[in-house]
Amino acid sequence: MKVAVLSFAHVHAAGYLRLLSRMPGVEVIGSDPDQDLAAPGEVRGRALADEVGVAYAPTYEEAFAWGPDAVIVCSENARHRPLVERAALHGVSVLCEKPLAASVADGEAMVEACRAAGVRLAVAFPVRFSPAYAAVKAAVASGEAGRVLAVSGANNGSMPNRARRWFAEPELSGGGALMDHTVHIADLLDDLFGDARPVEVYAQTNNLLHADEVAVETAGLVSVTYSDGAVATIDCSWSHPRSHHSWGGLELTVVGERATLEMDAFDQKVHGFDERRGRGTELPFGADLDELMLRAFLYGPEEGGIDVADGEGGLRTLRVVAAAYASAESGAPVAVG
């Protein structure tokens, strides 16, 4: 199995390269020619490939000429589309970093290009591979939780622009925290709610966090109403302190008619304190969600396990985000387009 990681713009590229290089039977190369928009000091291109210890293709032409069975697109959100279309042209399965695109128009074009070419388009939502989410899903799917009434979720992280500046540059990212962090929980609910679809979105945002540094929204609350009446309120803020020893997390509370469920996708950790560094420390011992996602993408889902999100699902979550931006702008609830 030959896998190429296209662009190292996203912080996840290095992690994917490492995981793929450790998978038996997988050959991996990286390619990162478009470094024009990187900030000084961001480790990109061959330097990153060398650091991780994987082969490097200086151009995308060479990466595709190598004959990959699958590619993973890790470019800036606004640059997903050309790489996905290129993969479609070459007939190569593609896993695209989330969100699917920076605009619904791009997302639609990508889904259509892959459909027309008969190429599989998947979107990188690793949290759906969390065992905690599997437990939530099992309780809901079996009917034990009863009808789901409401969900409240938080996907808070620290502002990611120090690792990669483009995250807070709207022409590349499509926005700020609302674009970056609404989609993970929206994707879980897209899966959890089955046929129920998001119909209306209300959102309020501000940029009171890091106001002196970036112009995009850094905090936001998003309420999504689904076609079965369920309501989900999501805190998508970059409100996790940057000097904190962890990156943030993802929590969900599901209120059903017959059970109340809570999950924390990233708190399988031993917590402690590091005296030498004078800060808190943690030892994650939970499942590696990225690894589970990559395995499902490359080899298909495990027996009874969840599959990667497809392009249509990625497009639905992107439409929720687009409606959220329209609502934050108008101050009123907006129908999901």
Partner 1 sequence: MPPLHIGMLGAGGIARAHLPGWLALGARVSVYTVDGSARKLAAEYAESGHAVTAADDLGGLLAGVTAVDICTPTPTHRELALAAVAAGRHVVCEKPLALTARDAEEIAAAAVASGVRLHPAHVVRYFPAYAALRTAVARGDLGELAVLRFTRGGARPQWAPWFGDPAQSGGVIMDLMIHDIDIARWLAGDVIRVHARTRGVEHATRTPAEVVTATAVLTHASGAVSHINGLWGLPDQRFRTTFRVAGADGLLHHDSTAVPGFRITAQGVRAANEGIPTSPMTESPFLAELRDFVASWRLGGPEPRVSTRDGVEAVRIAEAAVESSRTGRVIEIEEAAR
Site string for partner 1, 109-128 (x = CB under 8 A): --------------------
246 binds partner 1 (CB under 8 A): no
Among 19, 109, 149, 163, binds partner 1 (CB under 8 A): 149
Residue 175 C-beta: closest distance to partner 1, Å = 16
Q: Which of 87-95, 187-195, 228-236, 304-312 is the region at the interface with partner 1 (rule: CB under 8 A)?
A: 228-236
Q: Which of 23-31, 186-194, 206-214, 311-319 is the region at the interface with partner 1 (rule: CB under 8 A)?
A: 206-214
Among 65, 89, 105, 259, binds partner 1 (CB under 8 A): 259
Q: Which two tokens stand for residue 124?
A: 């990188």
Among 124, 230, 294, 336, binds partner 1 (CB under 8 A): 230
Which residue, 161 or 218, has its beta carbon nearer to partner 1?
218
235 binds partner 1 (CB under 8 A): yes
206 binds partner 1 (CB under 8 A): yes
Which residue, 6 or 168, has its beta carbon nearer to partner 1?
168
Distance CA 337, CA 335 (A): 6
Site string for partner 1, 24-53 (x = CB under 8 A): ------------------------------
Burial 23-33 (b: 16+ CB within 10 A, else e): beebbbbbbbb
Distance CA 97, CA 13 (A): 9
Q: How many residues bind to partner 1 according to rule CB under 8 A?
A: 39
Distance CA 193, CA 186 (A): 10
- Beta-strand pair 27-31/55-57: parallel
Q: Which of 78-86, 189-197, 215-223, 306-314 is the region at the interface with partner 1 (rule: CB under 8 A)?
A: 215-223
CB atoms within 10 A of CB 284: 12
Among 7, 75, 161, 237, binds partner 1 (CB under 8 A): 237
Contacts of 47-54 with CB under 8 Å at 24 or more apart are 48/8, 48/13, 48/14, 48/17, 49/8, 49/17, 51/14, 52/14, 52/17, 52/18, 52/21, 53/21, 54/17, 54/20, 54/21, 54/28, 54/29, 54/30
Q: Is 174 left (phi over 0), alpha (psi -120 to 50) or beta?
A: left
CB atoms within 10 A of CB 170: 17
331 binds partner 1 (CB under 8 A): yes
CB atoms within 10 A of CB 333: 16
- Least Cα distance to 4 among 38, 244, 50, 16 occurs for 16
Contacting residues toward partner 1, per CB under 8 A: 149-150, 152, 154, 156, 202, 204-206, 208-211, 218-221, 223, 225, 229-231, 233, 235, 237, 239-241, 244, 253, 255-260, 331-333
